[in-house]
Amino acid sequence: MALTVTSLWQYPVKSMAGVALPSMKVNSWGPNLDRRWMLVDSQHRFISQRQLPSMCRLAASVTNTGVRIQSLDDGTLSIDVPQPVAGARYDVTVWSDTCEAVDAGDEAAAWLSDTLGKTLRLCFMADNTHRQVDTRFAADGVRVSFADGFPFLLCSEASLARLSEALGRSLDIRRFRPNIVVSGGDGFAEDSWRRIRIGSLEFELVKPCARCAIPTVNLDSGVREPDVFKMLRAERFREGDVFFGQNLIHCGEGDIALGQSVEILA
């Protein structure tokens, strides 16, 4: 069965709800403006749905001047944050990485702290920042934004259907926060892919994605559902971790779009 791109997702703010795109610009970062914004605590450590599941109820979208963050519970509650230029700069931590970020200002910090019930700052990764992808999986010079570790995550609709069947109810692909979703083929076939082409761009599948508690969060309520992780452990536990989806590194720059075929090169 032919493989096709069925959805493309951009997440302007790490761990907030993203935006479905008809096409995606791919540049040196990977998906353009994906996870260039991030919430940090008072120690400048990254904050995600792992600590605050209610972050899934905030949606972020790119504007001409920065980013708009909107409550999915109250559509009238939103804030527009300009991309910071002269804000305070400080080191932030994302897992074991440390890199520089630019603070987005007191107004955004106050709004987000009040909305999420925790003292937070919003920060931005400037264009001249270089956060190196783990050199066990990528060449020196390949960079990534505030994403967990890699520029792209690919998930398969056929694989999701297998998980939904095992759980006994439908799972939303958005729980797994992919950038690229494909249809066609057999469930978990992507585990064996090593290199693919979409349009004119090639991608290396460098590492299966180890999953945390984020996929257990119900996107409508922001409440964790423990049975989801129990199912994932039963179905996808390998070598001490639960895996679903594949981390990708892109080869070159260009555009990809919905409906394009996915060619398996290796």
86 with 140, same domain: the answer is: no
Residue-wise pLDDT for 139-158, tens only, equals 999 999 999 999 999 999 99
120 with 169, same domain: the answer is: no
Record the tokens describing residue 62, joined without a space.
């790119």
Q: Which domain CATH number covers 255?
A: 2.40.33
Residue-wise pLDDT for 170-223, tens only, equals 999 999 999 999 999 999 999 999 999 999 999 999 999 999 999 999 999 999
pLDDT surpasses 80 at 113: yes
* pTM higher than the cut 0.95: yes
Q: Does residue 18 lie within any of the structural domains?
A: no
State mean pLDDT over 14-36: 98
Q: Does residue 129 lie within any of the structural domains?
A: no
115 with 164, same domain: the answer is: no
49 with 160, same domain: the answer is: no
Which of 77, 97, 124 represents a domain boundary (last residue)?
124
pLDDT surpasses 90 at 1: no
For the chain, how many structural domains are there in total? Answer: 2
90 with 42, same domain: the answer is: yes
196 with 230, same domain: the answer is: yes
Quote the domain boundaries for residue 55.
Answer: 31-124
Which of 124, 150, 185 represents a domain boundary (last residue)?
124
- pLDDT attached to residue 75: 84
153 with 180, same domain: the answer is: yes
